[in-house]
Amino acid sequence: MINLRYHIVSLVAVFLALAIGVIAGTTVINDQVVKELERSDRALRTALATQQDTNTALKSQVGLFNTWGEAIVKRLEKDQLRSRDVVLILSNGVDAKIVSNIQDALTEAGATRSGSITFSTRWNLGDDGSRRQLGSILDLGPTATTTDIASRGVERIAARLDTPSDPSASGDLLQALTQSGFIQVSNPSAGAFPPAGSLIIWLSSGGRNPSPPDAQISLPLLRALVGRMPLAFGEPLNSPDSLSDQIHGDATLSTEVATVDHVDTILGVASLVVGLHDVAAGLPAPHYGRRAGATAVAPTP
């Protein structure tokens, strides 16, 4: 007969064997996992070191190209706009660094920086308050539609920019738009603004849902300014909303407005100066950059 003690000893032996088996198996598996992780870690470290070496080499190349580019662009910009007044028109959200670089380039080109006009987001006309207030400034009645307000705004702004006067004078359109938060006029030239014979550089942020809207304001205003003053347009590289593309596709604007679609680069800034020089001289508008419709990446030194 098998007694209880035998059963107990047998069960203990079975569980002990299981425990030993589990511990042994786990040790083998863990050892294999650890070795595989170590191999992966070595491979990743090697790949990282290789990528870091590549990045270092690329940074050195970029540094060399920037140094070379700065020397080239100074030759491109030098005296291109001597004794000309240049006014900047900025859509909402243009990078301040881009504006600063362009202002430096205008100084190098011999131009007089005669101030800037920056549009606010209120030009999206997305609320009743903005529509009513702008309609009132433009002498439109309360029944005016958004299309009516945008069209009248474009017409009035183009006419005002073509008529130099004091922007701080009572009743001046620019003063009214400034006081109501639709625009900001910065560093205007003393006396009449913009000075007679001014050249215009229009800069876009290139962001999605731009302000002012392209179809409603920007393109119509550019068309309204054509023939009144020479124009050049710039936007950053890879802009998700490209006004350059729309200018290239417009039969009138494509021949009259110089465009640069990489104005956030050294060559782009120089291209903008050269493009403005060309349209001011009555030459066909050049289009510099990488997008469809561009005539060259940059002007030839």
Q: How far is CA 149 from CA 57, 180, 228, 262, in A?
A: 55, 15, 22, 32
- DSSP 8-class letter at 204: -
- DSSP 8-class letter at 81: T
Cβ neighbours for 274, distance < 8 A, ≥ 6 positions apart? 76, 77, 80, 286, 288, 299
**Position of tokens 């491109």?**
76
Provide the residue type at 173 as one letter: L
Cβ neighbours for 83, distance < 8 A, ≥ 6 positions apart? 110, 111, 112
- Taking all residues of the chain, what is their mean pLDDT, rounded to a whole number? 88
For 45-49, 197-201, 211-215, which range has the lowest pLDDT when averaged over its residues? 45-49
Q: Tell whether the model's pLDDT for residue 24 goes beyond 70.
A: no
Among 113, 117, 73, residue whose Cα is nearest residue 225:
117
> Which pLDDT score is estimated for 174?
97
- Residues 189 and 85: beta-carbon distance below 8 Å: yes
> Which pLDDT score is estimated for 13?
63
β-strand partners of 287: 259
pTM above 0.85, yes or no: no
130 versus 15: the higher-pLDDT residue is 130
- Residues 116 and 185: beta-carbon distance below 8 Å: yes
Q: Tell whether the model's pLDDT for residue 86 goes beyond 80.
A: yes
For the chain, what percentages of helix, strand and coil (3-state, to nearest 5) are there? 55, 10, 35
- DSSP 8-class letter at 218: I
User: Given pLDDT bands bounded at 50, 70 and 90, which one contains residue 17?
Assistant: low
User: Given pLDDT bands bounded at 50, 70 and 90, which one contains residue 189?
Assistant: confident
Phi/psi of residue 40, nearest 5 degrees: -65, -40
Q: What does 13-62 look like in DSSP terms, one character per residue?
A: HHHHHHHHHHHHHHHHHHHHHHHHHHHHHHHHHHHHHHHHHHHHHHHHHH
